Amino acid sequence: MYLSQLRSKYSGYTADNFNTYFGKELTIYFLAGSGLTPAFGFDKAAGKSTKEIVGQYLEAYFQGFGVQRVKLPRDFNADEVADLSKIELVNPEACEVNGRIFVRAGGVKAVK
């Protein structure tokens, strides 16, 4: 067994992990002020980030959990979602790495 397996109860992004960490009735607000930021690829062999943009991050406030960065597809466009509006993540997934929770989604929808 590897040490990394001992540190992390969950591995890999899954919808079950998202529900375990945040539950199904989570209220999320979009923080557009920070804008979308690029998510760069990672070269495991070199141990560093690449210049290739593989996705985007947005910051959102998860009620009861604070601000969380959410990784989205490279072609995601946030123009239709207003700052501080209530949102729903499309196909949210989460993973745990060294005690930190990371979230990704296929997109974001405004909730009325």
Prediction pTM value: 0.81
Residue 63 domain flag: yes
Residue 93 domain flag: yes
Phi, psi angles (nearest 5°) of residue 20: -65, -45
Q: Express each pLDDT in 51-78 by its tens digit.
A: 999 999 999 999 988 999 999 999 998 8
Residue 1 domain flag: no
Q: Express each pLDDT in 2-14 by its tens digit.
A: 444 444 455 689 9
Q: Which range of residues forms the domain containing residue 76?
A: 15-41+52-110
> In CATH, what number is assigned to the domain containing residue 91?
2.40.50.390
Residue 4 domain flag: no
Counting the structural domains of the chain, the total is 1
Across 39-66, b (16+ Cβ under 10 Å) vs e yields beeeeeeeeeeeeeeebbbbbbbbeeee
